[in-house]
């Protein structure tokens, strides 16, 4: 196991009764990188983060955080990280500034200059009581508390939930600044454009397993690039080229309009054919992270997976969000965010109707 990795997870298994939430998951996060951690509800993201923070014990595999065991050495390791949970609740009777004071004291202090700067950049009014905050303003308090620390690792779970586009852009600017300072970031988000803008590498998980991991460039090597060209003549030989698919050509206003998809390894040769036909316009569009993500999941409906007793069961994603699950007993409201583990977080990796809640306390 490489001690150079900030996070190193190999073959992680976690079960809840008969439900196998994590089924041999692998993850490595390198120092100083922003690592996007992607997957739909129920894929295992939240359970992975809980195990990584020492809030849940692994049933199999190995987990290393800064070279240590997060289950046995949680207090020491938590001094080196800051955690923003996916669902934030504050103390309603306190002002935003007082909430920040409490969170700072719980962690052992914040960088006061950075805190002041972040309060201004996120346009947060720290004099208002938390009960009067919108969801977006509660999220701003949590972001300031997490980003104003001197932590070596930031674990951010849906960090821009409730923020408007302007504040999302501010968040991205701050994360880039912290990365430039050498801080490592684990970014779990449903906003694929946000991950695409920030992440150095990405891991996509499905049914408790890592199915893709690498840089966006690496992942795009396994997908197809879309090409649209307008040429003077017919691009002869294009249809017979290896790697070319979905080819469509038509004549428009004396020119030839050509569209096709192609494997990245054959792109140069295809552009050569287009060049010989006399290019007027050329658009080459590699797949976005949205397309990479969807291509990973497009054929997963109705797949089977093994439960905790070794039996094969059908698995589905119902796509529901946190607000749909309050009444189902899977979201405990109004539990104060403590700067670490959050008892009010949705445990979206548990099977429907399980009714378990997250353990509270822990990460500082």
Residue with tokens 């548990």: 350
Helix (H) or strand (E) holding 146: helix 135-147
Nearest to 29 by CA among 281, 201, 215: 201
Residue 211: burial class (beta carbons within 10 Å; 0-12, 13-18, 19+): middle
Token code pair at residue 63? 């987990």
Nearest to 195 by CA among 22, 45, 5: 45
Q: Which range scores top for mean pLDDT: 153-157, 251-255, 339-343, 347-351?
A: 153-157
Residue 222: burial class (beta carbons within 10 Å; 0-12, 13-18, 19+): middle
- The model carries a pTM of 0.70
Tell me, what's the pLDDT at 294? 66
Neighbouring residues of 334: CB distance < 8 A, sequence distance ≥ 6: 89, 92, 344
Residue 95: which pLDDT band, with cuts at 50, 70 and 90? very high
Lowest mean pLDDT among 9-13, 28-32, 137-141, 284-288: 284-288
Lowest mean pLDDT among 87-96, 128-137, 322-331: 322-331
Antiparallel, parallel or unpaired: β 7-16 and 19-29 = antiparallel
Has residue 359 got a pLDDT over 60?
Answer: no
Residue 71: which pLDDT band, with cuts at 50, 70 and 90? very high
Antiparallel, parallel or unpaired: β 312-314 and 304-306 = antiparallel
φ/ψ of residue 35, rounded to 5: -110, 115
């Amino acid at each position: 196991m490489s001690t150079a990795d900030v996070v190193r997870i190999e073959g992680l298994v976690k079960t809840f009764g008969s439900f196998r939430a994590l089924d041999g998951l692998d993850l490595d996060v390198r120092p100083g990188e922003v690592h996007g951690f992607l997957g739909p509800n129920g894929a295992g993201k939240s359970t992975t983060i809980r195990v990584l923070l020492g809030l849940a014990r692994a049933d199999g595999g190995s987990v290393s955080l800064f070279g240590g065991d997060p289950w046995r050495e949680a207090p020491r390791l938590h001094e080196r990280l800051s955690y923003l949970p996916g669902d934030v609740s504050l103390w309603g009777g306190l002002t935003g500034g007082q909430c920040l004071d409490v969170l700072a004291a719980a962690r052992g202090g914040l960088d006061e200059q950075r805190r002041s700067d972040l309060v201004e950049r996120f346009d947060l009014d720290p004099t208002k009581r938390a009960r009067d905050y919108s969801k977006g303003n509660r999220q701003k308090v949590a972001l300031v508390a997490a980003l104003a620390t001197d932590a070596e690792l930031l674990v951010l779970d849906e960090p821009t939930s409730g923020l408007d586009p302007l504040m999302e852009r501010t968040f991205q600017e701050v994360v880039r600044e912290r990365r430039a300072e050498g801080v490592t970031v684990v970014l779990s988000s449903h906003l694929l454009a946000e991950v695409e803008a920030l992440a150095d590498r990405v891991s996509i998980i499905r049914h408790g397993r890592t199915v893709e991991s690498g840089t966006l460039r690496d992942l795009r090597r396994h997908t197809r690039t879309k090409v649209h060209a307008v040429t003077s003549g017919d691009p002869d030989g294009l249809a017979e080229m290896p790697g070319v698919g979905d080819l469509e050509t038509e004549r428009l206003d004396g020119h030839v309009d050509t569209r096709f998809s192609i494997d990245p390894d054959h792109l140069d040769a295809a552009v050569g054919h287009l060049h010989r036909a006399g290019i007027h316009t050329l658009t080459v569009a590699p797949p976005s992270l949205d397309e990479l993500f969807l291509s990973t999941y497009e054929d997963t409906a109705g797949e089977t997976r093994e439960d905790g007793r070794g039996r094969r069961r059908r698995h589905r994603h119902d796509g529901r969000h946190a607000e749909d699950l309050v009444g189902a007993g899977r979201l405990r409201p109004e539990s104060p965010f403590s700067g670490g583990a959050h008892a009010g977080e949705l445990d979206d990796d548990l099977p429907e109707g399980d009714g378990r809640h997250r353990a509270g306390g822990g990460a500082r």
